[in-house]
Amino acid sequence: MHTDRERCVRAVRSKDARFDGWFFTAVLTTRIYCRPSCPVVPPKTENMTFYPSAAACQQAGFRACKRCRPDTSPGSPEWNQRADLVARAMRLIADGVVDRDGVPGLAARLGYSTRQVERQLLAELGAGPLALARAQRAQTARLLIETTTLPMAEIAFAAGFSSIRTFNDTVREVFALSPSELRARLPKKNAPAATPGALTLRLPFRTPLNPDNLFGHLAATAVPGVEEWRDGAYRRTLRLPYGHGIVSLTPEPDHIACRLTLGDLRDLTVAISRCRRMLDLDADPVAIDDQLRTDPLLAPLVDKAPGRRVPRTVDEAEFAVRAVLGQQVSTAAARTHAARLVSAHGDPVDDPEGGLTHVFPTPEALAAVDPESLAMPRTRRTTFTTLVGQLADGTIHLGPESDWPETRARLLALPGFGPWTVDVIAMRALGDPDAFLPTDLGIRRAAKELGLPSTPAALTARAAAWRPWRAYAVQYLWATDNHPINFLPV
């Protein structure tokens, strides 16, 4: 979008928050870059230039605005609605792969050469993987400076910097303030808490956001010991690269309140990225809803409760296993099956603030389970053991780098995997915004009530007009039912 100068200027002049994260405005006279909705008086048009990423702004010598804090913008919705190389690379960078494995590790995960990855990122985002990862480290550093009492040396390494000097130089260059000056600017009442390992932060999103089906679905399908709804918040355990964590997420009118307890602060960036993906916070609800409103039968549903998101997951392999456990059984039965596996094979965690007890088992741990101990029909046992075996040995990858068509094909080749199972994994684990469930009982019931075609083939043909947002249409159709997944727990 940053190449459409006229459109960008209109967004800046109208202070349209919907475009935050889509592009950044750099001011040539002040050498500052802002989000489109920055509250200050817009600069003259001839003094504006536009960049596709914060990293590109920083690389061009601009520093972040202290007023609108562009580093806290929601992410671009492009990276979660596309499956090309650039989108997959951006999802991996957000997951901390460059910090852990370097650019060669990023390229290896994508199956491309380092040169190809760098060339495509530079062409579309104006910055290579190292610059993009550096911008992310700066954002993480600022978050730790402002929300913890950690010494600066610990913050530097937790944010992914290789040295304290690099940390100091980067923070000063990006924010025009030293780390100590950033912390000193905090009002006394906002002084960071001293709880070891605990962080409280705000996760921004584009409005509107309807929390009912989003949190309702996560709470209604919660696996005991791994997830719970407590005091108005969805809580769950996290398996992260350097250790385990616990997150508490509370819906607020203009943000999601997030409380993270981490065993290792180096996991902060990854934890935030995965929580944002689970809650679909980088979506553009206005564009999605406008497309779905073009169908006169869907329009009333959208108008009644706009801004529905797709409830996703923090662990793709975990969700795939749970999808198999939920085949042809009730939500309660699926939770029971999963809870047994968790208590027997999950890693224990300590949760003094609630009732969480375990992290969901790894595919390697589940691959070692005796099939005869599984309380399910023999054919589903075969489906389960085949899936966890291929996840464990790397035959099937369900991470952020997944190629959606290729992964679908691999899943369909597994015994016991039909279109419903593959599409629900594509929708909620892989993040495909166009995944559709025409054979789902709830979808067919809603279609019949609304006057839509109820047979899978006819409904799929009608749903072509909803593309590329059919996964969101699924949420609106499901919401017509009086099922607990559609309501916030009381």
Q: Note whether residue 307 is domain-resident.
A: yes
Q: Note whether residue 79 is domain-resident.
A: no
- The per-residue pLDDT for range 130-170, each reduced to its tens digit, is 999 999 999 999 988 988 888 999 999 989 898 999 999 99
**Residue 192: predicted pLDDT:** 55
- The per-residue pLDDT for range 366-382, each reduced to its tens digit, is 999 998 888 888 999 99
Q: Are residues 357 and 448 in the same domain?
A: yes
Q: Note whether residue 81 is domain-resident.
A: no
> Side chain identity at 175, as an amino acid letter?
F
Give how many domains the chain has, as a whole number: 3
Mean pLDDT value of segment 173-196: 77
Which of the residues are catalytic?
Answer: 34, 440
Q: Are residues 450 and 317 in the same domain?
A: yes
Q: Are residues 24 and 37 in the same domain?
A: yes
Q: Note whether residue 154 is domain-resident.
A: yes
Whether the per-residue pLDDT at 75 is higher than 90: the answer is: no
**Mean pLDDT score across all residues of the chain:** 93
Q: Are residues 304 and 413 in the same domain?
A: yes
Domain boundary residue, one of 47, 72, 97:
72
Total residue count of the chain as it appears in this document: 490
Whether the per-residue pLDDT at 17 is higher than 60: the answer is: yes
Q: Which domain holds residue 171?
A: 86-147+150-190
Q: Are residues 335 and 454 in the same domain?
A: yes
Q: Are residues 155 and 202 in the same domain?
A: no
pTM of the predicted model as reported, rounded to 2 decimal places? 0.90
Angle at 173 between CA 167 and CA 176, to 5 degrees: 115
* Ranges of H-type helices in 199-267: 211-220
Per-residue pLDDT band for 186 (boundaries 50, 70, 90) equals confident
Whether the per-residue pLDDT at 195 is higher than 80: the answer is: no
Q: Note whether residue 78 is domain-resident.
A: no
Show the tokens assigned to 60: 């061009």
* Ranges of H-type helices in 247-298: 268-279, 285-292
- The per-residue pLDDT for range 424-451, each reduced to its tens digit, is 999 999 999 999 999 999 999 999 999 9
Q: Are residues 430 and 305 in the same domain?
A: yes
Per-residue pLDDT band for 395 (boundaries 50, 70, 90) equals very high
**Residue 341: predicted pLDDT:** 95
Whether the per-residue pLDDT at 193 is higher than 60: the answer is: no
First-to-last C-alpha distance (Å) of the chain: 42
Provide the CATH number for the domain around residue 46: 3.40.10.10
Q: Are residues 213 and 318 in the same domain?
A: yes
In percent, the amount of the chain with pLDDT more than 70 equals: 98
Q: Are residues 125 and 198 in the same domain?
A: no
Domain boundary residue, one of 164, 190, 216:
190
Q: Note whether residue 77 is domain-resident.
A: no
Q: Are residues 358 and 401 in the same domain?
A: yes
Whole-angstrom Cα distance, residue 399 to residue 95?
10
